[in-house]
Structure 1
Amino acid sequence: MAKIVLGIGCAHTPQLHTLARDWDLRGDRDRQDGVPLWFRGRKLSYAELERERAAENLGRYLDMATREESLRRSFAAMDALHASFVAAAPDVVVIVGNDQKEIFSDMIPAFAVIAADSIVNVPRTSEQNARLPIGIEISDHGHLPNDRTIYPGHRALGLHLASHLVRDGGFDVTLCHEKPTVQDDRSLLFGMPHAYGFLYKNVMRDHVVPHVPVDVNCWYYENSPTAARCHDFGTALADAIAAWNVDARVAVLTTGGLTHFVVDEAWDRMFLEAMRTRDAKTLRALPQNELMAGTSECKSWIAASAAMDRAGLSMTVVDYQKLYRTEGGTGSSCAFTRWLPAA
């Protein structure tokens, strides 16, 4: 029977692949009051956010030395996660990720499994890059290939997971026999979302193991599953993997978050501790208004954490970094964790 031998949670953010001096490109955009920012369950303007957080004196984290040290430690943590991945030598990988209309467009499933023999990833075109928000294009090297690239999928496992999740797990998942072909309004193709591409490049280092993308709708709130539903899904996913009648070593990877586009260290620490101590009650009770904007990607972590709990693996925090880019605390928090079987 298949066995989960490793879990990895890794932050992904454009800031990790942006030079420290260029963080201000996004910071200047954050300061425009037309950009809504979610903080502790409320949507604020930047001016409101900076006033509310003035006592924290977050400006002390904006110097170049602090930024560069945060980047150095983040990349050291990703090196450690890569080393754990190599040491575990999984035969197949399940990636719990999320889409931002690069896999799905007119149809947004709550949960989906891509059961394909191969997964194609493509770089953005110069035309697509020209329409990106400022500061994004310069970070694309962190999650997109230079040329059209075909990665190995694992159709057999994908089909098994979809079947088991529906028939035994109680989840009506969308089954994709290949990555849906999404085009923009000028018929230009999109590659895989950075939730997946970041792991291809930073954990697997482009030596991509046959894998199954399992998508959780974090971003589109009308049918985004609750924290409790994501936790249940992770448990069902672990059961589905364990029921696969193949002698295979399986790694489960997830990425995103934690809090962004406003960093909240206290919330991050609470979330990490709840996962580390298997505090399902806290994770399941997280309200939707705390899982908004980029922080919504923590739903993928909740699912992966539940899967690891079910499989009996224990979590270690490799590192946690705060990538602030304004006095109001906008930016990204970066957590790097791994789950290993008990010794």
Structure 2
Amino acid sequence: MLEVENLRIRYPGRDRPTVIEDVSFAIAPGGALGLVGESGSGKSTIAKAIVGLAPVTGGSIAVDGSPIDHARARSRRALHDRVQLVFQDPRASLNPRRSVGDAVADAFVGGATISTSVERGRRLAELLEQVGLPASFAERFPSELSGGQAQRVAIARALGRRPRLLLLDEVTASLDVSVQASILNLLRDLRDELGLTYLVIAHDLAIVRYLCDHAMVLQAGVVLERAAVAELFDEPRHPYTKVLIDSVPEMESPDGRELALVTGDPPDPAHRPSGCVFTSRCPIGPLHRVGREICLSDRPPLSPQGDAEVACHFPITHSAGAREVFDAPRTVST
């Protein structure tokens, strides 16, 4: 459904950094891929590049096997019929002066199958029902909606063109926890009912685990690990992946072992290290282990490791001994 090959993104201007560096992935029809990483890792930038909101300076993007060229109007129109982006803040994406009905109808009015006001009303009611809202909500304005209702309206609008792929950019981040659950259940049901394909961007790893089949871990615009969700969460192989999982409070170690937390800030994309982008914060890297200086000089390629792909010179191997080494690093004196 979606194929991204060697994607490279650099914003225009002098001394602007490359924010995405040679990122590749594919999502099969009906699948769901989660992008995982800290703020600034490049997750949202990738989604924006797919729909033409960020510049693609290298690589290629294809939907349904057709390359996307954002410079051509026909290619952009075809893309918008197949791909829609749902933003984090639904209120910011809705015009406060326009009713819910007008906002949702914008997505499909003018289409070949919508030619009368009766058909418009029928399609509008159908879309609102799909997201769990009564048809009467068409008369409301954004200021009259709760956060969850506004996000349902944004999802209904995204479904207006009957897309096959939804890009979900932190769609529950601005919602209360109880409302988050209802939106996640809605998205899961819509995927099953409509056969949708999802690219899910979330800082909350529990959301990726709930919605996605596969996940890809990013740091400073570089892919560090890619695996099936079950594999990634049960047996993370990159130290950064393990740090992210251990940082979730619900995943606290049940046997009292110290969690693999990390200190320091992510690297600046303008000054990426020549080696692994996680080296300066890695709890089992060259700052804590002798004989691992290669991490400082050589960027590890994304290579098969079990059922996953990992960009690490010393991936975690999930034996009892390996876990002890990871959780109790020996500091190298300098």
Q: TM-score by structure 1 length?
A: 0.29
Specify which structure has the bigger relative contact order, considering alpha-carbon pairs within 8 angstroms and separated by 6 or more residues: 1
Q: TM-score by structure 2 length?
A: 0.30
Larger Rg: 2
The structure that is helix-richer by fraction is 1
